[in-house]
Amino acid sequence: MLHNHTHKINPENEKKTLIVILLTLITMAAEIVFGYITNSMALLADGFHMGTHALALGLTFAAYVLIRKFEGNPIFPNGTDKIGVLAAYTSSIFLGLTGVWIIFEAVDRFVNPLQINFNDAVIVAVIGLLVNTVCIFIMSEHKHCNHEEHCEDYNFKAAYFHILADALTSILAIIALLAGKFFNIVYLDSVIGILGGILIVKWSVELLKNTVAELIDMKRN
């Protein structure tokens, strides 16, 4: 028997996602261009890192476009809700891979420490944090529905988690870099990276559980 959940997708979420994508792309372009001009590998690396988040956010936006385009189309007899859920599921996998990559990178840096340009790296982290703070503010308003409706927008939630993950890595990076610069605690960069990666993976697993349950119509409490 099919479950007839009513998903109240807030149309404002699509607009918010597009604004965040544009902010991310502008920041990415600026960091890459400035990175080439100043020969800053830190800026270049973060610029391309922002590109991966733009890709995940683009997936979220594409899902909204498809949901709107095919709404009421007979080829989707049960509605288009699961397009967004599927996008969220895919995005949560990207989020989990990002967390795993951060953990492996942090472990490698701990075993094989590299010379860090603290000044450039701090600038990059602060820029990233400022942009992500604006994005979080844009995406932080929650929609409301009555308790009889199932209105969780997992597609938007996945995008929000990507922004939160980026903000978290920026905050942790700033703490670690300042500790390394002023107190010569270089290993803290790796330790904090591992902890941040674990937290991001945890977010990914939670989102995966919810989206899988939604995709296979599994009953949840």
Looking at the domain assignment, is residue 3 inside a domain? no
Q: If DSSP codes are grouped into helix, strand and coil, which group holds residue 16?
A: helix
Count of helix runs (H) and strand runs (E) in the chain: 6, 0
The per-residue pLDDT for range 132-166, each reduced to its tens digit, is 899 999 988 655 444 444 457 888 888 888 888 88
Residues 19, 139: Cα–Cα separation, whole Å: 10
Looking at the domain assignment, is residue 130 inside a domain? yes
pTM of the model: 0.77
Q: Which domain holds residue 137?
A: 11-142+150-215
**Residue 45 CB contacts under 8 Å (≥ 6 apart), including other chains:** 35
The answer to whether 172 and 196 have CB atoms below 8 angstroms apart is yes
The answer to whether 106 and 194 have CB atoms below 8 angstroms apart is yes
The fraction of the chain above a pLDDT of 90, given in percent, is 14
Residue 3: pLDDT band (50, 70, 90) is very low
Looking at the domain assignment, is residue 40 inside a domain? yes
The answer to whether 201 and 99 have CB atoms below 8 angstroms apart is yes
The average pLDDT across 52-59 equals 85
The per-residue pLDDT for range 83-127, each reduced to its tens digit, is 989 999 998 998 898 889 888 888 888 888 777 778 877 888 888
Looking at the domain assignment, is residue 187 inside a domain? yes
Total structural domains within the chain: 1
pLDDT at 10: 63
Looking at the domain assignment, is residue 2 inside a domain? no
Q: If DSSP codes are grouped into helix, strand and coil, which group holds residue 153?
A: coil
**In sequence order, what E strands does 74-142 have?**
none
The CATH number of the domain where 194 resides is what? 1.20.1510.10
C-alpha triplet 189, 131, 35: angle, nearest 5°? 65
pLDDT at 136: 92
Residue 2: pLDDT band (50, 70, 90) is very low
